């Protein structure tokens, strides 16, 4: 079981208190009304699925109910960084785009 640090509660809790919501830092289209069906579908449904470091949004469902960002290794499940929504990832956590 993972032990996850919540940057809002400032405590480490068991994984079963949290839910992974999905990929972090997805930019919303500036003019969504101008997208065709294929473009809108890609925005809504297509996400990266990398091997290695991945930025995700997690929700502390059983605790403070806040969302926050996690940089996690998808091969080892190691959580490398945790940071609040609206903050940039730590410099060493910036992934190649």
- Residue 45 · residue 76 · CB < 8 Å: no
pLDDT greater than 50 at residue 96: no
What CA–CA distance (Å, rounded) separates 49 from 25? 14
> Which domains, from first to last, does the chain contain?
3-93 (3.30.2270.10)
Q: What kind and span of H or E run contains 20?
A: strand 19-23
SS3 (DSSP) at 77: coil
| Helices and strands (H, E) in the chain, number of each type | 1, 6
Percent of the chain with pLDDT over 70: 93
Percent of the chain with pLDDT over 90: 85
């Amino acid at each position: 079981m993972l032990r996850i640090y919540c940057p809002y509660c400032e405590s480490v809790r068991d994984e079963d208190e949290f839910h992974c919501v999905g990929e972090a830092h997805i930019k919303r289209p500036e003019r969504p009304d101008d997208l065709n069906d294929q473009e809108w579908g890609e925005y809504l449904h297509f996400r990266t699925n990398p091997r290695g470091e991945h930025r995700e949004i997690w929700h502390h469902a059983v605790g403070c109910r806040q969302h926050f960002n996690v940089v996690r290794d998808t091969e080892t499940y190691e959580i490398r960084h945790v940071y609040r929504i609206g903050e940039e990832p730590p410099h060493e956590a910036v992934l190649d785009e």
